Amino acid sequence: MSISVIGAGAFGTALAQSHATDGQDVKIWARNPVTVDAINQHHENTTRLAGVKLSESLRATSDLAEATEADHILLCLPMQKLSAFLTENKTLFRGKMLIGCCKGVELTSLSGTSDVIRNAAPDATPAILTGPGFARDIARGLPTAMTLACDHKDADGLQQSLSTSVLRLYLSDDMAGAELGGALKNVVAIACGAVMGAGLGESARAAIITRGFSEMQRLAAHLGAKPETLTGLSGFGDLTLTCTSDQSRNYKYGFDVGTGKIPDPKITTEGVATAQAVANLAEKSDVDMPLTRMIAALTRNEITLSQAVEGLLSRPLRKE
Ligand SMILES: NC(=O)C1=CN([C@@H]2O[C@H](COP(=O)(O)OP(=O)(O)OC[C@H]3O[C@@H](n4cnc5c(N)ncnc54)[C@H](OP(=O)(O)O)[C@@H]3O)[C@@H](O)[C@H]2O)C=CC1
Ligand SMILES: O=C(CO)COP(=O)(O)O
């Protein structure tokens, strides 16, 4: 069984490396020929995952037709770019198993990854790979547990194929819940970064994680996700990782905001567009998500961090 990874960013490179190290037949597609050369000639992705030595068996290509010959295709592009990319190339994805690895909600459609795949590549079968795993940890071969969500009849086979000796995938049939957890935790991580950057303390961060989780569960339940998906790796697991580590780009974005620095717009920070999308989705669904609303307003520069904190603290007292 062959695997291709579409998108040679940090996460795509890490997954490809993990499978190549495990002895599997894996190819990675990059749009940038410089990245292809760096991986094939120097065994390093100098732009997106510098400093990690890659397996010599990992081959990169900028030929999308060649990359899409594989049986299983891992989509590792930023969420807001996925739909246009799939639409433009949909004939190449016909009949393929497309495993979406993006963590976000699409701003234009308010859809999650699996619906974006269904709409943009209707002849493909979607699955979701999500959960707590930093690219750098996975690429270094550190033990990681994540969620593979799939309602395909050969879900067990896919789980076997995509797991390695150190990348342990737990199977779920709840794609909506799994992808929501991964998307929503990024918004909470921005809030945690901001709290820590502004020196508001670890107690405040614990409050944000807990109340943020409560919002995540509320929206997920409304959208039909299973409760256990949100308390599993793809929800609570990833929330814990991202809200407490400065390896996280979402956390770092928030930290910069908290210290008054302007975050680097070139860094993929899924929580920014997702905060806007989720605030819109929550309003449309009549689900109360005050923290997400604040982060959406903060990242649009409509309010300051002090106003966001004041807004949250002045809400009526309530039962937990
Ligand atoms: N990094 C991590 O630890 C994890 C990331 N994820 C998720 O994976 C997704 C990708 O993240 P990550 O790899 O880290 O991001 P990066 O910013 O490292 O890489 C993004 C990749 O997407 C490519 N790309 C961007 N726009 C397009 C486009 N329009 N067409 C084709 N290729 C494009 C970039 O190409 P180029 O280099 O040429 O710009 C780059 O290779 C995100 O949704 C993220 O949340 C999930 C788990 C962990
Ligand atoms: O999703 C991640 C780890 O599970 C990576 O988070 P960041 O995109 O914030 O770096």
The ipTM value here is 0.99
Question: Ligand 2 pocket check: which of 136, 147, 167, 241 to mutate, most ligand atoms within 8 Å of Cβ?
Answer: 241
pLDDT at 272: 98
Catalytic residues: 185
pLDDT at 1: 81
Question: Ligand 2 pocket check: which of 102, 233, 234, 242 to mutate, most ligand atoms within 8 Å of Cβ?
Answer: 242
pLDDT at 308: 96
Region 10-35: what's the mean pLDDT?
A: 97
Atom of ligand 2 nearest to the CA of 251: 9
Region 190-218: what's the mean pLDDT?
A: 98
Q: Is the pLDDT of residue 71 over 90?
A: no
The three-state secondary structure class of 238 is helix
Atom of ligand 2 nearest to the CA of 131: 4
Q: Tally the residues of the chain.
A: 320
83-120: per-residue pLDDT in tens? 999 999 999 999 999 999 999 999 999 999 999 999 99
Pick the closest to residue 146 from 6, 7, 1, 11 (CA basis). 11
Where is the binding site for substrate, in residues?
103, 249-250
Which residues does ligand 2 sit against, CB inside 6 Å? 103, 132-134, 186, 189, 238, 241-242, 248-250, 270
Which residues does ligand 1 sit against, CB inside 6 Å? 7-12, 30-32, 35, 47-48, 76-79, 81, 85, 101-104, 133-135, 268, 270
**104, 161, 183, 267, 292 from 78: Cα distances, Å:** 8, 24, 12, 11, 20
Region 19-27: what's the mean pLDDT?
A: 95
pTM for this model (two decimals): 0.98
224-274: per-residue pLDDT in tens? 999 999 999 999 999 999 999 999 999 999 999 999 999 999 999 999 999
pLDDT at 47: 94
Q: What share of the chain is helix, strand, coil (3-state, %, to 5)?
A: 50, 10, 35
Burial class (CB in 10 A: 0-12, 13-18, 19+), 228: exposed
CA 312 to chain centroid, in Å, comes to: 26
Q: Which neighbouring-strand residues pair with 61?
A: 29
pLDDT at 94: 95
pLDDT, averaged across the chain: 97
Atom of ligand 2 nearest to the CA of 268: 8
